[in-house]
Structure 1
Amino acid sequence: MTTEAVSVSSSNAPVVRWLGRADYAATEAAMRAFTDARTADTADEIWICEHPPVFTQGVAGRAEHVLAAGDIPVVQTNRGGQVTYHGPGQVVAYPLIDLQRLGIFVREYVFRLESAVLRVLQDYGVTGHRVSGAPGIYVKLDDPFGHAALSGPVDPADQFRGLGKISALGIKVSRHFSYHGVAFNVAMDLEPFRRINPCGYEGLQTIDLGKIGVFTTWDDAAARLAQRLQSQLSR
């Protein structure tokens, strides 16, 4: 697998590597190999890429959440969570981080990944939201640019009413080293998400920047996410 590193402003910031359009299975295998081989002295990295169409199942994934895969392959993975979709027009970021060296635990790590996405959305004037117990970032479908917080209390049986998921998280931590990561929807064909129960939630809507009126390029969104992740994950 060929990668291109970018210069960083701090020696304590993870190195960003641009993988371009990358096969999912090969990328996951490379992440595992990197993580298995790394030591306490290995520099942290963030891999940024875009995948051809693929459904990925997490370790908790249930077959019934794949409704009709059709011609899109389903790949079993060792990340957390349920089934999701990756495809063109989506930025995928894989932070390969030594959490012990950074001085954080998994819950804080997830919070920082979500914070990076929230800040990218802010760059585009969009307000993102967290939903308790459902990792990832969501936007209000009827008012994505409004600043009001989600009203509560939320009915657990209908916690996604009026929301669209714009970013999904799925991580793995081994020997305090993280891999897998975060997907951010920029300008996609969203139809494949209707072939699954995204992240295991029946009827959960997915959305991307383009569908809410933010027209940008994959390159711009990827650069912004890489920068925000570097900021969140620097020592």
Structure 2
Amino acid sequence: MKNKKVVFQDWGLIDYKEAWDRQETLFGQTVRLKTELRNRQLAAPAGGEADEDILTPNYLVFCQHPHVYTLGKSGKPEHLLLDEAGLKEKEAVYYPINRGGDITYHGPGQLVAYPILDLDNFFTDIHLYLRTLEEAVINTLAEYGITAGRYPGYTGVWLDADNERARKICAMGVRCSRWVTMHGLAFNVNANLDYFNSIVPCGIDDKDVTSLQRELGREVDLNEVKEILKRHISVLFGMEIVE
């Protein structure tokens, strides 16, 4: 029995470490429940009743962060081009974290999405999971008249990925344990792109970073983008969003 209901939460502008801790709590609760249910199933006598009324939960969190740089498990610390004084000058903080990927930036005007899903409720394929999140952003950009796609060999969403003008508009990095996910995507809507000059974004030193604001030449209503992206995520995953 699969639970397609997904609790949506908007955490607003939230300190990165606080959001990380809150994610870890939801993630840990789901993993523990899943483990407990599996152990009960293994211990039950043949023909015994299953815990069909107990289902693992799913969450979709949207938020923004104050200026912060995060380094994934496969990243290189030297891809942060600032020392402590430089971070202080930019009013930014830095965290090595437990997602995949290299270094990236989060800040106001960037829409961050953290799906905390039990993929057993949807599909157990991490590559399909990443491609589906990318597709949701691609479909969102299409509603603004922007054609986006993928850059071979990299996760995330790109514009003009097939030529020398390739530029990234959405970065991704996830963690998955027992098919439960956390972390997610960072979509540059109205983000201050100057902050990307202080890192080697995602370890890629020869490609540009862009935002929806830059591409459209105007500031974009972030709440409008949230609703569009949420809709595309829910449709592609077959979710029932619970507000």
Q: Give the TM interval when normalised to the shorter protein.
A: 0.7 to 0.9
Does the residue aligned with 2:174 lie in a helix, a strand or coil?
strand
1:57 maps to 2:71: yes
TM-score (structure 2 length as normaliser): 0.81
- Please say if residues 4 and 122 of structure 2, whose CA atoms lie closer than 8 Å, have aligned partners that are also in contact: no
Corresponding residue to 1:113 among 122, 129, 133: 133
- Please say if residues 102 and 203 of structure 2, whose CA atoms lie closer than 8 Å, have aligned partners that are also in contact: yes
- Please say if residues 14 and 233 of structure 1, whose CA atoms lie closer than 8 Å, have aligned partners that are also in contact: no
Does the residue aligned with 2:210 lie in a helix, a strand or coil?
coil
> C-alpha separation between the residues in 2 aligned to 1:56 and 1:194?
14
Match of 1:8 in 2: none
1:222 maps to 2:214: no
Give the letter aligned to residue 234 of structure 2. Answer: Q
The within-5 A match list for 1:140-179 is: 140=160, 151=162, 161-179=164-182
> Post-superposition shift, 1:96?
0.7
Match of 1:126 in 2: 146
Match of 2:192 in 1: 189
> Post-superposition shift, 1:214?
5.5
Corresponding residue to 1:46 among 60, 69, 86: 60
- Please say if residues 14 and 46 of structure 1, whose CA atoms lie closer than 8 Å, have aligned partners that are also in contact: yes
1:76 maps to 2:80: no
> C-alpha separation between the residues in 2 aligned to 1:62 and 1:121?
30
> C-alpha separation between the residues in 2 aligned to 1:12 and 1:64?
41
> C-alpha separation between the residues in 2 aligned to 1:37 and 1:92?
22
Runs (5+) with no aligned partner, structure 1: 1-10, 141-149, 152-159
* Bigger radius of gyration among the two: 2
Does the residue aligned with 1:30 lie in a helix, a strand or coil?
helix
Cα displacement string for residues 60-79 of structure 1 (whole angstroms, at most 9, x for unaligned residues): 11111111262221111100
Give the letter aligned to residue 44 of structure 1. Answer: N
Match of 1:234 in 2: 238
- Please say if residues 13 and 230 of structure 1, whose CA atoms lie closer than 8 Å, have aligned partners that are also in contact: no
Match of 1:21 in 2: 13
> C-alpha separation between the residues in 1 aligned to 2:131 and 2:193?
26
Q: Report runs of 4+ in structure 1 exceeding 6 Å deviation.
A: none
Instruction: Provide the identity percentage.
Output: 31
Match of 1:206 in 2: 209
Q: How many corresponding residue pairs?
A: 208
> C-alpha separation between the residues in 1 aligned to 2:125 and 2:165?
32
Give the letter aligned to residue 42 of structure 1. Answer: T
Give the letter aligned to residue 117 of structure 2. Answer: I
* Structure with the largest fraction of helix: 2
- Please say if residues 76 and 102 of structure 2, whose CA atoms lie closer than 8 Å, have aligned partners that are also in contact: yes
> C-alpha separation between the residues in 2 aligned to 1:14 and 1:132?
31
1:85 maps to 2:77: no
Runs (5+) with no aligned partner, structure 2: 35-54
> C-alpha separation between the residues in 2 aligned to 1:182 and 1:192?
17
> C-alpha separation between the residues in 1 aligned to 2:184 and 2:217?
24
Cα displacement string for residues 32-63 of structure 1 (whole angstroms, at most 9, x for unaligned residues): 11111113423211000011000000011111
> C-alpha separation between the residues in 1 aligned to 2:121 and 2:169?
30
Does the residue aligned with 2:228 lie in a helix, a strand or coil?
helix
> C-alpha separation between the residues in 2 aligned to 1:130 and 1:59?
22
> C-alpha separation between the residues in 2 aligned to 1:234 and 1:74?
35
